[in-house]
Amino acid sequence: MNADSIFIRSMLFADVVGFSKLPDSAYPAFLSEFLVRAAAILDSDGHKPLLRNTWGDAIFAVFTTPREAANAALALQTLIAGTDWSAKLGSPLKLRIGLHAGPVYQGQDAVTGTPNFIGRHINLAARLEPIAEEGHVYASGEFAALATLDGHGEFQFDYVGQRPLPKGAGVIPVYRLTCQR
């Protein structure tokens, strides 16, 4: 792949709310329970990303289709809701998830030696996650439109409103992915 390969891709950014307040004793269980289960979701058919990465408690994934990204986001939220994290970690867990779709550059990361995706739309996707409410999946208008087409009516998006993004990234229409039909 060369650096001028550009594709329309769907991006997911997820963050564990309040992770920095977990006690040190919770980290081993977080690694062996939450991240192992999140990896299993990302490895399953129907939402296998082209790229996945973590930064502590954050998950970043790039998918070929918005349907894959939406299904992964819903599966991650189901994982959180269906597990007694207080018993495992000493604290409940909630995720904020942001979804966006747009043109990105795909190339080889010379530092890690792995495929990578970069571009303005990756940055925009990263700005959606921090504005999402705890326990919710927020999506850009572009993602909601493409997922609606790609999912053949499988997903429902509720309009949240025009929202300012962090770091001066602009104001965009935002939708909440509320369910899988």
pLDDT tens readout for residues 51-104 = 999 998 999 999 999 999 999 999 999 999 999 999 988 889 999 999 999 999
**Residue 131 has what DSSP assignment?**
G
Q: What is the CATH number for 172?
A: 3.30.70.1230
Q: Which domain holds residue 172?
A: 5-180
Asked if residue 146 lies in contact with residue 66, where contact means CB atoms within 8 angstroms, the answer is: yes
CA angle 127, 130, 131 (to 5 degrees): 90
Q: What are the distances in angstroms from CA 130 to CA 79, 106, 138?
A: 20, 25, 10
d(CA 94, CA 18): 8
d(CA 133, CA 131): 6
pLDDT the model gives residue 46: 75
Number of domains present in the structure of the chain: 1
pLDDT the model gives residue 50: 94
The percent of residues in the chain predicted with pLDDT above 70, rounded, is: 97
Compute the average pLDDT of residues 145-171: 91
List pLDDT tens digits, range 14-33: 999 989 889 999 999 999 99
Compute the average pLDDT of residues 116-126: 94
pLDDT the model gives residue 4: 63
